[in-house]
Each structure stands twice: as C-alpha cells, then as structure tokens.
Structure 1
C-alpha cells in the first residue's frame, strides 16, 4: 500500500495530454477542452505529432519533446502505445499518469505479456503511479483540474467521491451540481492496475481539503489492503459506501450451512461495519448521509424524542423510527411535568410531543430546552408544518441558539416547499441536520446511530494470541494434521468435537462407531439415554434421510435404532458414502435454544464467522449475522444483537434468559480456532444448545483444506489482530516498564504524553510547532493498522492509577517492505535515561524480524539527542539542503 507520488496525481502543477486532438467527439478533444476550460492553475502541454498547436496551446510531437517533465500525464492513445509512453514519461521524470485507454488487459505484446502488465513493468523502475487503465479520469476543483471525460465540471467542496464506475461519473456530477454539492476530488478508478481503492483512501485520509469520503464500489481484490486503508480513513473522517451487486446471483457450493448462509454481500456489509464506515443503498442516501454526518455530534445512545406541531407528522416520525429499529425515548417524570405546563389543559405530554398547530416560537424553544435536559433522551427531532399564524423562519430562529450550543444531536424537519426554505437555511446554519419529511429525518437519525455503532466497532482490536494454552492448541492442530495426512478433508462429528473440546467449548459426550455393535458399546460407555446418528460426508442434514434416532434408553434400543437408520439411509441415499455412526449422550435441556455458530471462507475477505438461529430450519429461518475475525466479547455481542433470535435469548414470559456469557465465549473461541488453524475453511456447530445454565455443542462438522504456506497464517485474515506476542516487560530506572504496541484506548494517555512535551520537542517530532493534537491526529497515532505500521509505547501505571505513556517509537514500511521510516519521542522530563535507545532497539529488532531491508529517518539539526543516538546505533547521518535536515539510514540486510 502506498501514497507515494499521489500528490502529483491529485495536485499537479503541470499536465501533459498525450493523444490531444481537435477532432470533434474524440477522446483527445474532450480531454483538451476540459483541461483548458476548467480554470486549471497550472500549465497544459498537448502532445500529438500531427499538430503544432491545439486549443490555442503549442503542441509537441512526443514526450521527448517536452521541455520539462510534467507532474501528471493524461494518456488517451491506442492501447499498444501505452507501455512505451509510460517508459518515456518515467525516463523524463514524470511520476503520475491517468490512462483512459482501454483494452490493455486483453491485448498482448511481443513478449506475450498483457499490455497492462507491460505498462506496469515500464512504470515500476520510476515509481510512476498510474490511475487506470480504462479510467474516466479525475477532477480536483480546488485547482481547476478537470482531467476527465465528464461533460461538465464539478463544484468545489470538501467531499471526495471515488468510483469504480466511470459511467456513474456524469450522472453523479449532474445531480450534485443541481443540488449545490461540491467536491475536493472526483476520481474514477478504472481497472485499478496500480492505484486502487486502498491507495486513494490512504491519500484522502490525510488530505486537508477533504472532509468526507464517498465510495462507489463494485468489487474488491485485496481485502487486507482495503480494510487497512478503510479503517485509517474512517478514523479521521466520515466515509460512506454505496456497493453495487447486493443480490447474490446464485447459491454457492458449500459443505456446510455456514458456507451456504454467509452471502458475499453480507460479508461485505460486515467488513464495512468493522471498518467504521457507513453503507447506504442509493445515491440519494449517499449525499443525504454526508450532510447528516457532517453536522452530527457525539451520540452516546439511540433514544429519540420527537416534538411536532401536529399529531400526524409526529406519528409518521414515530412509525418510521419503530419500523427502522430505532428507540423512542421514555421521558423522565420531571420532564413530563415540565412539558405539561406548555400544553393546553387536558392534553397530557407524550413522546411524540404535540405542541399543536398554532404553537408559537417560544413554545418550541421551551420544549426543546426541556428535552435537552431530559436524562432519558439522546437526540431530539423537531418537526414543523407551516401554518398561517406562525412563520416557520421564526420557529427556526427561536430554536437555533439552543441547537447550536447543545451537546446532543438536534435534527429538524420542515414540511413544505418555498414557505419553509428560510427556516431550512437557518436550521442548517445552526448545525442542525435538516430534512424535508419526517421519514427522511428519522432515516438520517438512524444513519447517525449506525455510524456511531460502526465507529465503536472500529475501536475494537482483539489480540492475536488466544487464551487457549499451547498444549490445547497443539492437540487441535495435531488432529487437523492427522486428518489431512490421511486425505480426509471433511471431518466427522466426533472428530470435529475433539478439536472444539481442545479449544474449551462445552461438548455433549460423543463417540464414533463403525458398526452397529460398536455403537452399542459406545452407548454403554456413555450411559443411557443416547442418540444415534449416521455419519456420511455426503449428507449435510442427517434428519432428511432418516439418519437420527433419539432417546434410546437400552442396548437393544440402540442396536435396533442403528440397524433402522442404516437401512433407511441406504434406501434414501444409495449414492452416499456411509462411514458409521455417531453416538451422543442426550442433552436434557427443555428450555434450550437451538443456535448455529460457524465459519466459512469468503473469496475476498477470507475467514468469516456466522451466528444465528439453528436447528433443521436454519436456512429457512435465514436469521443470522456475519462478522470478520478476530472477535472479542464486544464484537461477538454486537453480532448476536443483529439477529432476531437475540430477543428470544433475552428471556420471555416464564423462560429465563440464556447464558449470554457462554454463547459469547463460544463465539470468541470459534474465532480463535479459525485464526489459529488456517486449514479450517468451513465449520458448522448446529445446534449449539443454549439455556440459562450454559451452552453445549450437540452436532458439528468441519471442512479442511491444505493451507497456503507462502505467508503468515494471519495473512489470510482481512483484519490484522493486535500482536500481543510483541509485548515485553523490562527493568528501567528502578522500576518495571511494559513495551507494547499502541492500542486505540491509549488515546487519553497519548494526549497527556503530548501535553508533557516541550514546544521544542514537539517541533523536533513534527517539524512545526503544534499547540494541541487534533482528533484526527490522535486517531492517526493510536489507532494504527499493525500490518503496515507499528508503534511501540513504553507505559506504566501513573501516580493516579491511570496508565501513562513515557515514550513512543514508530515505524512505517513501504509497500514492498524495502524501507521503513522511524520516529522516536520520549517525554521531555525523562530524557537522558536511556528510554530512547530502548525504543529504537525495539524498532530495529522488529524491522529485522519482518525482513525490512533498511530503516530511514530525518531530524532537524538542533535535535542533537536523536542524531547522537542513531550514530551510536550504526546509522549513516547525511545533511541535506533542506534547512540542514539530517537524513538517517541503517542497512539491515
């Protein structure tokens, strides 16, 4: 993943158009018109051997004839010419190009390579970044750049739109312009041969001109890269996704119910939730959500109070809230008492609160003031229908100061057209998300709720090392290796349960039996009553073929039942393999809920975990949720809450709640199992029987595959876990310090650490003077992706009992893991005690372990401590012409 040279792509000072033309309707003519008519502040150089002048600009015949290397090249020539043009540009010094030419993936060069690969090979030596091929171009309105085939330009603004569809570009631009919506960047990715969604997200996350990011996604190829960039972007600014292809085109082949149930779109949705982004389903929702989230304040709950000047609008908002899964606030008694004084006699207050048609501005103001003080309310929706007696603008003026200063979200809905336009403007300027209808307003509130919940999930960083002991993990791995060595990829129920038992899951006692008499012997050992089930790799649902017999309370009953189910199985499925019987102790849990837990492997995102309503009707009920591992208890609880069966598990009537801790523990253990053993590609636990006394596995099956040994066992996970194995406790300055990777919850301690730095130390670290960390900077420092960046902190409990950060060492590697840039900062009052060296040596050891070839860095010439430290550690120190900045380099390999 890299943002190298992307500033040349999105903020160029000069552009060369290769393939420029004056032929009407041609691609070259369209691009030239857009480049020259958009008000680009840089220079434009047309390149075409047929012309000496184009669009009033001097034209040159070839790249070699350009007087200087342009920052950006826009290429619209025939596909066979593109690789050589890219090579010439790289030699010239250009470092970014947009390739609009299509067909490079299909055509071949004289060496048999696709032209797309030949293009990438030509760019690689020069680190020349390519947007496309088959891109519709890009727009950066702030600098007047329109290097696209769009029929119109874009208004300036703070929204970045990134699309995998060029065809969507013109429609979205038209719609946005008609609504006055502006953009910082508008980017059509094309085939993403080089610059892809992950690279662009990374760039936009740190782009000061961009306040929010909108994505139109059709497909993904590199899940880890996308998730890494998406999580980084979503931590600093609202990031919204419109995904095409929500309907699966068919049932995928799977050996498990989990594999059949976990659709690709559900997995994508789970990834978006985990990345802290918000998914919408229409372009209208996409732009509406941007406006809503731009004004949204912190949300600490999802209880909504509704106030309106009529029963009808209030009821419409209430219905939309309830049907959308929202929560209507139950107002506190003192709130109800205060609201009663605002209403006519005989009109008791309620939520929604009806102020009646003639409600004066002061009544609205008082009602909002009271609701803002209600302890049971998290947000307020104000709905107003125009009346002949009260101007809507006066209502807006009355509530605007309260909304502007409120710590909670205040949303407004102004029903009507021109008569309420002024009220909408006033409300919007006061920071209130403003809507045309009650339903739209409630949808906006629910978007805020979902976005905040996703942001909470983003903060979860489960550990990479499970709490299961090494011997238990070894037992499970040995069972998997034995099965694979014997050529068995679909494990039986007893074999699967042995692996689950090693991971601490409660298992109903189960024994395998090859014959009827062995089944009788197994039942005698287990104790009666028992259940007998056939074992066949070709049958997913044993009950469908008469392969289950329950409540067998004697040896004769077991013998008869085993013979009966074997015969029945042979009659119904003569084509299926019979591998014996599974004999189980009967689980006597009359109030138990049948659940399904499982794992499957998505072709893009890798392992996924599934939870839902189980039993023989699991696929018919279709009540399940999907999540990406690794899971912790918080993530597992969120997963359970997204199913309908969660309401049953909470208890009802005389049925006590199920043991949720046991269910969550089983989910977490399934996640750990899948993370630890890459050979497990599918797993079904169905049913997991859960009641008030716990959760026990009744039936289970597992599918294995040979693992890819080309990389780490964690490489197949879309999200890199917190690397607990890198923690280290050391003696320092008469006490004990913990050196460990930074975590999101270190944010408060990191702020205190920053506040303890002197202004000079801040300048040495940042190269500029900064008085305080902005939220986006704090997120950038503490919410890292452990796959492409590492930050170690030295921490200990402070005098107040709170953890304190004493020093930070950070390293960021390039995409090829060739070079990694470091930074080390020690609290100003602790310098000279050796902590900087400890952190630096930790970084060097980490980079050696990862196979990084070199570590580089830089410092101001006044930063004598770091210069002296790196010299002692063997770094080369080289002065540069940039204010005497010192460059550091340590060769590791």
Structure 2
C-alpha cells in the first residue's frame, strides 16, 4: 500500500495534457475542453507536435519542451507511446499521471514485455504514480479540476466516489447533479496497474475534505491490501460499497461441502462486514445511504416507531420494517396513554395514526411523545398531502424537535410538487427524507446494518483458551506425514486426529482396513457403535448406503461392515475402498446437526463457514461465511446470521445449546487454518450441539502443498495475531511476557488505564481523560497488525487475572517510511527500566519491517521519555507547535 505522491494526482497545481487535440469527438479534445472549461486555477500545458495553440493555450511539441515539470500529466496517446512518455515525465520531475489509453496489457514491446509492464518499469525509478491505464480520469471539484471524459462536471461536496468502471461515470455524475449531490473527488481507477483501491482508500481516509467514501467494485486482486486500507478508512468515515458481479461466473469446483457453499459473493459480503463498511445493491441505494448516514446520529438501539397521517402509509412502513428484519418499537404504556389524550380515536400504538386531519401541532406533540418513549430508538414521520394542511407547515413544526433530538428522526413525504417544500425544509434541518415509506424504512435499516458492522470493530471479545505449541506441532506433523504419503484428501479418522490436537471435542473414532479390524475397533470402543465406509471418492456416505448405526454387538458390526462394503461396490463400482470408520454412538437426542468448515477463496484466501448441517445441508442453504482470524465476538455474530441460531437458542421444552462450546469450536477452526497453510478445505458435518456441549461426529479435510514463494500469512486477507513476536523476559525477580496486544486484552487495558495518574494520561495524550470509552478501548486493543503494532508487558496478577504493566505502540505510514511511537508504563512501575525494554522492542520491530525512521513527540515536562529517547540515540528538537518536543531516530 502506498500514498506516495498521490497528492500530486488528486490535488495538482499544474496539469499537462499529452495528446491534446481539436478533433471533434477525440479523447484529446474532450479532455482539453473539460480541463480548460472547468475553471481549474492551475497551469494547463497541452502537448502535441502538430499544433502550436489549442483552446487559446500555447502548445508544446513534447514533454522535453515543457518549461516546468507539471504535477500531473494526463495521457491519451496510442499505447505504444506510453512507456517512453512516462519515462520522459519521470525525468522531467512529474510524479503523477493519468493514462486513459487502453490495450496496454495485450500489446508487447521489442523486449517482449507487455506495454503495461513497460510503463510500470518506466515509472518505478521516479516513484511516478499512475492512475489507469484505461481510466476515465478524475474530478476534484474543490479545485475545479475535471481531468476526465465525463460530459459534465461535478458539484463540490464531501463525498468521494471511487469506481472501477469508467462507463458508470457519466450516469452517476448526471444523477448526482440532478439531486444536488456533490463530491470531494470522483475517481475512475481503470485497470489499477499502479494506483488501486487500497491506495485510494488510504489517501481518502486522511483527506480532510472527504466526509464519506463510495466504492463501485467489480473485482479485487490484493485482498490483504484492500482489507487493511478498508478497515482503516471505515473507522474514520462512512464507507459504502456497491459490488457488481454478484451472480458470479459459475460455481467453482470443491471437494467439500464448505467449499461448495462458500460462494464468491458470500465471501465478499463477509469481507465488507468485517471491514466495518456498508454494502448496498443499487446505485440508488448508494446515494440514499450516503444521505442517510451523513445525517444519522449515534444509534443506541434498533427499535423504530412510525407515525403517519393515515393507516395505509403507516402500515406500509411497518410491513417493510418487519419483512426487512427490523424491530418495531413497542410503545410504553405511558406513551399510549398520552397518545390517547392527543388523538381523536384509535391508532395509538405503533404505527401511530394521526388521521388525515392532523395539523402541524398534532405532529409535533406526537413526535415529542415518541422521542421521550423509553422503548423507542428512532422515529419515522410519514406524511401524505391533504387539502386542509400545508405539508411545509408540518415540516417546520417537526424540524426543530428532530434537529435537537438525541435519537434519529427520518421523514417520508409522499407525493410530488405539493410536498417539495416540506422535503427541502426537512433536508435543510438535517432530517433524512424519502419519497416512499418503503424507501424510508430501507434507509433506517441501512443505518442499522452500518452500525452493526461498525460495532463489530468496537467489541471487546472474551478470551478463548489457546493451543499449546506442542499440540500445534502435533497437528503440523500429521499434515506433513499425509502429504509425504501423497494423501491430499484425508479421511474422517485422519482429520479428527488433527482436530483433536486443536482441542476440539470428538466422538471416539478408529479406522479399520478390514471387517475383522472393524470388529476389533468396536470392541475397543465399546458398544453401541456406528460403522461408515471410507472412500475418498464418496462425499455423502449415506448416498451409497455406507452408514450403519446403533450396532450393539460384534456380530452386528461384522454384518454391517460386510453390507456397507457390498453396497459401495454395487452403487459405485468406480469408487476406491479404503476401509471402515468405527465410531462410538453419540447419544444426544436433543442435539442440533451443524456444519462448520473452511474453504479457500481465490481472492480472499481462507474463509470459515458455519450453518445448519446434516445430509440436506446444501438444500437447507442456511449458512454464514467469515474471514479468519475469528475471536469470540466475531464467531457469535457469525452464528447469529443463520436461521439455525434460533433453534440453538432453545424452544418449547428444548433447552438452549451450549453456545460457548460452538463459539470455541469456530475459533479453534479459525486458528487451525491460520496456523497450517496446507489446509485448503475442511468439513465438520455434523457438529452435534446441545446443552451439554458440541462434539464432532464426521470430518474430512483436503490438503495442498503450501506456496513457499512468500510468507504463509500472505494468503490471509487479514493478518492474524503474530505469535512469533512473543518474548519472555526477566523483570523484578519474575517473568514478564512481551507480546502484541490482542482484542481480548480489553479488560486488562482498562485496569491499566485506571492505574495511571492524571499526569501520565496527559503526558501520553496531551489532554486529560478520565476514562476510556468503548470505541477508544477497541482502537487501542483491536489493531491491524499489517500497519501498526502495540506490544504489552503482561503477567498474571495477584488476583489471578492478567495485568498489563506497560504498552509500546508504533504506527507506520502506508509507505512504511516513518513510524510514530508512544510508550506508557504503569505509574507505580516507573524508573525500573520497563520503558526502555519496550522502546527497544519497538525499534527492533521497525528495523525488521524495514521502516526508515521512528518519530514521536512529548510535552516538555515529560522528562522521563525525553531522557530515555536521548539514551537510545534519538534526535530531540522543538516542534512548530509551542510546548511540544519532537523525536526522530533514523534506522540504518
């Protein structure tokens, strides 16, 4: 990821147009017109050897003839000319270019390289950034820059629109202009040969002129880069995604049910949710969501109350809410009583019917009551125009109340010209407005879904027991042994041996090659048992009569083994026979059959799947997908997104299933696929869950040789906890563990913060803070290990709970050039050398990553940290800001 020189691309002070023209309909003519007519205040340099003047501007023949290096070059010349032009621009000093020309990937130069690669090679020595090729350009309305092929400009605003489709540009711009929607940037990525979604997200996340980000996505190539940038951007501003290609190009081949169920669009959806973004499904929803989220207040619940001046509109909104999975508010008795005094008759529960003669004051009083109701989290006001009441007067009556409320108020003004004034008044007051009740409810549900995704970023999960290094080693050894023997599709007993090493509960299972061995295995396990056929060519054993249950004697086992083998020969004579699997019968009459597994997506790498299991798993099609690594919070969210979760919660006289056991199994599967890259597919079906726990009945696994060309972690879209950075040290007569922070450290982090003195907090944050709110706590403990690191010094405290003694944090810029550090030691442990230990840990880590320098700052009164960094070789100097000291250490 890199934002290097992107300021030259998105905020240039001068632009050169290579290939400027006056030929009607040509790219060069369109771009010249848009650049010159848009009002761009910077210099514009047309370049074309055939002209001396175009559009009243002097024209030079070549890049070499330019009097000065332009910040940005826009290129629309034939593909074969692009690499040479890029090299000339780099030599001149230009650091950004937009290439609109297409076809560079297919054409070759004299060295056999694609012209695209030749272009990138030419740009590399100069760090010249390229948007495109095949880009439709970009617009930056704040500086009146239109370096695009769009047939109209964009209004200025705070929305950034980033599109992988240039064809979408004109329609979206025209639609946005008609609705008065403005942009900070409008960017068409083209082929993304250099500047891609991850780079642009990193730039826009820190751009003060951008308040929200809209993405139109057709494909992704670098999942890790995208996820890291997306999670950072979504933490700072609303980020919405419209994804094309939901239907996909067809089902991919998979040896497991998990692989077949985890469709590509499911995986993309899981990635968007994990990043804290909101996915929409139409361009209309995209802009509606921006308008809604821009005005949305913090949502502390999901219960919506509806008030309308008629039964029909209110019921339509109520139906849309319930059918959309939303929650209708159940009004408090005191609210119902107050509404009874206000309303002439009926309609005093949700939805509230104010009746057709409702005047502005009745609307105002009803809204006031609903906003005070303890069971209501948001209110939707619906109004249909009537002859006796001016809609604008109603908007004026409710606007001050809605504007000052702590809860969200949305409005729907049914009709056309007669309610246009009301819509304008409501919008000016910051009230999201909609044309229909269904659209209004959809807008509210967008707020709900967005907040849910954001909340996942802020949750502090409980700890789940870890896996001992020796057990992980056992699992790795079993995988290596299977690969060495050429076994890539592992049987149920082999898979269970690996799962057992990761602490999962398993029904006792033994493999048998012959009927006699099956009888001996049953005798050793104890009756009753189940006998199942073992064949790598049969996914569903029951389909070929390969399962026999409740066998309570040796004779029954012998007969069943002979019978299932015979059925396999009759029904699948081509299938290989490898023996029998003999299992203890799991007596759990109230158990639910679940599927839990893993698959490998071609873009996002390993994914985890959970849902309703059994032999009809693909027919039921009840599953959720998530990206590893998982923690307990993410696992619970995953379970909650399935229909079977309602059965697991218990019903009638059936007790709830042990959710903690299911969560723990999900987390352990996540750890397994993160730890062992050779595992490409895993099926646990069924996982039997009831009130007494969760136990694996059947399992199978597919292996593949891991790609050793890079880090085994590169296959993961989100970098997992870097266990390799853990280090034990001697301190104060005991042992401390230095390790990266984990989300589960939240409670210990709170206790650490509470143990700091007010001055220590002020020295660290430059302001006085009494307590950490949940979002701050999540920000400190749930970090993206790809772009920042926080080491903690931890040990078990006297109360048996883990305690954090010190924290060292370093955050690198996206180019990994400069990293900013901070170190905080618990107040009662200062002066014992712990700060120096953590500071050295940060320096060593940055050197390992190739970071060029470490920087920091402190208040002048913070003598301890100033003295420490001086001893470690930092340069200390005054900052521009009065009363602040800056530190800098160059890493050689």
Q: How does 1:447-462 map to 2 (within 5 A)?
A: 447-459=446-458
- Quickly say closer, same or farther: Cα 1:586–1:834, change in 2 above 3 A: closer
Q: Tell me the distance in 1 between the aligned counterparts of 2:379 and 2:387.
A: 25
In 1, distance between residues paired with 2:217 and 2:772? 33
Could you say what secondary structure the match of 1:341 adopts?
helix
> Residues 722-741 of structure 1: matches in 2 within 5 Å?
722-723=721-722, 726=725, 741=740
1:472-498 CA distance string (max 9 Å, x none): 222222211111111111111011111
What is the CA–CA distance in structure 1 between the aligned matches of 2:327 and 2:350, rounded to whole Å?
11
Aligned match of 1:140: 140
CA contact (8 A) 1:751 1:778 kept: no
Deviation at 1:680, TM superposition (A): 0.9
Q: 1:751 to 1:530 in 2, by over 3 A?
A: closer
Q: Greater CA deviation, 739-748 or 248-257?
A: 739-748
Alignment match, 1:506: 505
Output aligned runs, 1:136-535, within 5 Å. 136-345=136-345, 347=346, 349-459=348-458, 467-535=466-534
In the other structure, the counterpart of 1:682 is: 681
Distance 1:193 1:171, change over 3 A: same
Q: How far does the alpha carbon of each residue in 1:262-295 deviate from its partner, in whole angstroms, 9 at most, with x for none? A: 0000000000000000001100000000001111
Runs of 4+ with deviation above 6 angstroms: 461-466, 727-739, 746-755, 757-763, 772-782, 793-798, 801-807, 827-835, 858-868, 876-887
Tell me if structure 2 keeps the 8 A contact 1:232–1:784: no
Per-residue deviation, residues 789-814 of structure 1 (Å, max 9, x unmatched)? 2244679999xx99999775424165
Alignment partners' CA distance in 1, 2:418 and 2:737:
64
My pick for the range that moved more, 388-397 or 834-843, is 834-843
In the TM superposition, residue 618 of structure 1 has moved relative to its aligned partner by 0.5
Does the 8 A contact of 1:747 with 1:782 survive in 2? no
Matching residue of 2:89: 89
Q: Which moved more, 1:33-42 or 1:741-750?
A: 741-750
Query: SS in structure 1 opposite 2:375?
Result: coil
Structure 1 pair 136–749 and aligned structure 2 pair: CA distance change class (3 A):
farther
Deviates more, 1:328-337 or 1:317-326: 328-337
Question: CA offset at residue 349 of structure 1?
Answer: 2.2
Does 2:821 match 1:823?
A: yes
Q: For 2:546 and 2:679, how far apart are their aligned partners in 1?
A: 26
1:658 aligns with 2:649: no
- 1:714 positional shift: 2.7
Which segment is superposed worse, 677-686 or 664-673?
A: 664-673
Displacement, 1:431?
2.3
Inter-CA distance 340–100: structure 2 relative to 1 (3 Å threshold): same
- Check whether the contact 2:756–2:826 (CA below 8 A) recurs between aligned residues: no
Q: TM-score, normalised by structure 1?
A: 0.91
Change (3 A) 1:24 1:364: same
Return closer, same or farther for 1:585/1:757 CA change in 2, 3 Å cut-off.
Answer: closer
Q: CA separation of 1:773/1:390 partners in 2, compared to 1, >3 Å: closer, same or farther? A: farther
Shift of 1:750: 8.3
For 2:358 and 2:825, the matched residues in 1 are separated by: 59
Give 1:762 shift.
7.3
User: Kindly tell me: are residues 730 and 431 of structure 1, through their superposed partners in 2, closer, same or farther at Cα, counting changes over 3 Å?
Assistant: farther
**CA 210–751 in structure 1, closer or farther in 2 if over 3 Å, else same:** farther
In 1, the alpha carbon distance for the partners of 2:774 and 2:326 equals: 29
Q: Would the aligned equivalents of 1:824 and 1:836 in 2 still touch at CA under 8 Å?
A: no
1:99 is matched with which residue? Answer: 99
Aligned to 1:790: 789
**Alpha carbons of structure 1 residues 820 and 506: separation in structure 2 relative to 1, 3 Å:** same
Matched, 1:621 2:620: yes
Specify whether residues 465 and 841 from structure 1 end up closer, same or farther in structure 2 by C-alpha distance, changes over 3 A only.
farther
Q: Distance in 2 between matches of 1:646 and 1:521?
A: 40
2:220 partner SS? coil
Which moves more between the two structures, 677-686 or 399-408?
Answer: 399-408
**Preserved contact between residue 826 and residue 835 of structure 1 (Cα < 8 Å):** no
**Inter-partner Cα distance in structure 1 for 2:881 and 2:215:** 38
Which residue does 1:58 correspond to in 2? 58
Q: Is the 8 A contact 1:462 1:721 kept in 2?
A: no
Aligned to 2:639: 640
Q: Decide whether aligned partners of structure 1 residues 200 and 594 sit closer, same or farther in structure 2, where only a CA change above 3 A counts.
A: same
Is it true that 1:10 corresponds to 2:16 in the alignment?
A: no
- Cα distance in structure 1, aligned partners of 2:352 and 2:782: 42
- 1:749, distance to aligned residue in structure 2 (A): 8.6
How far apart in 2 are the matches of 1:507 and 1:739? 34
Please name the residue that 1:855 is paired with. 853
- Which residue of the partner structure matches residue 563 of structure 2? 564
The answer on whether the counterparts of 2:381 and 2:412 sit within 8 Å (CA) in structure 1 is yes
2:570 matches 1:555: no
Tell me, yes or no, if the aligned pair for 1:747 and 1:779 is still in contact at 8 Å. no
Paired residue for 2:670? 671
Aligned mates of 2:751, 2:148 — CA distance in 1:
44
Output the CA distance in 2 between the equivalents of 1:759 and 1:598.
47
1:21 positional shift: 1.2
Task: Report deviation, 1:527.
Answer: 1.6
Distance 1:58 1:101, change over 3 A: same
Residues 123 and 755 (structure 1 numbering): CA distance in 2 closer, same or farther, change over 3 Å?
A: farther
Distance 1:727 1:421, change over 3 A: farther
Q: How many correspondences in the alignment?
A: 882
Give the TM-score, by structure 2 length.
Answer: 0.92
CA distance in 2, matches of 1:652, 1:775: 33
CA pair 339-169 structure 1, distance change in 2 beyond 3 A? same
Q: What's the CA shift string for 1:209-253, capped at 9, x where partnerless?
A: 111100000000000000000000100111000000000322211
Instruction: Please give the secondary structure, in 1, of the residue aligned with 2:712.
Output: coil
Contact (CA 8 Å) 1:623, 1:644: kept in 2 or not? yes
Cα 1:294–1:775, aligned 2, differ >3 Å: closer, same or farther?
farther
CA contact (8 A) 2:518 2:561 kept: yes
> How far did residue 453 of structure 1 move?
0.5
Aligned equivalents of 2:364, 2:253: Cα separation in 1 = 60
Aligned partners of 2:297, 2:698: CA distance in 1, in Å? 47
How far, CA to CA, are the matches of 1:517 and 1:748 in structure 2?
61
Check conservation: 1:461, 1:721, Cα contact below 8 A: no
Give the secondary-structure state (helix, strand or coil) at the position aligned to 1:304: strand
CA contact (8 A) 1:215 1:240 kept: yes
CA-to-partner distance for each residue in 1:334-374, whole Å, 9 max, x for gaps?
322222222225x2621111121112222222222222222
> Is residue 464–residue 721 contact of structure 1 (8 Å, CA) maintained in 2?
no
Cα displacement (A) at 1:839: 4.2
How far is 1:784 from its partner? 4.0
What is the distance in 2 between the residues matched to 1:322 and 1:636? 26
Superposition deviation, residue 191 in structure 1: 0.6
Contact 1:131-1:189 at 8 Å conserved across structures: yes
Whether the 8 Å contact between 1:609 and 1:671 is mirrored in structure 2 is yes
CA contact (8 A) 1:236 1:775 kept: no
Q: Is the deviation greater in 118-127 or in 862-871? A: 862-871
What SS does the aligned partner of 1:340 have?
helix
What SS class does the counterpart of residue 250 from structure 1 fall into?
Answer: coil
Q: Is the 8 A contact 1:529 1:553 kept in 2?
A: yes
Relative to structure 1, the CA distance from residue 102 to residue 41 in structure 2 (aligned partners, 3 Å threshold; closer, same or farther) is: same
Give the Cα–Cα distance (whole angstroms) in 2 for the partners of residues 458 and 258 of structure 1.
26
- Which residue in the other structure is 2:538 paired with? 539
Which segment is superposed worse, 160-169 or 19-28? 19-28
Structure 1 residues 679 and 397 mapped into 2: Cα distance closer, same or farther (>3 Å)? Answer: same
Question: Which segment drifts farther, 677-686 or 740-749?
Answer: 740-749
Provide the secondary structure at the position in 2 that maps to 1:185: strand
Cα-Cα RMSD: 3.6
Unaligned runs of at least 5 residues, structure 2: none
Provide the C-alpha distance between the structure 2 equivalents of 1:258 and 1:452, rounded to a whole number of angstroms: 29
Partner of 2:574: 575
Moved more, 319-328 or 744-753: 744-753
- Per-residue deviation, 1:135: 0.6
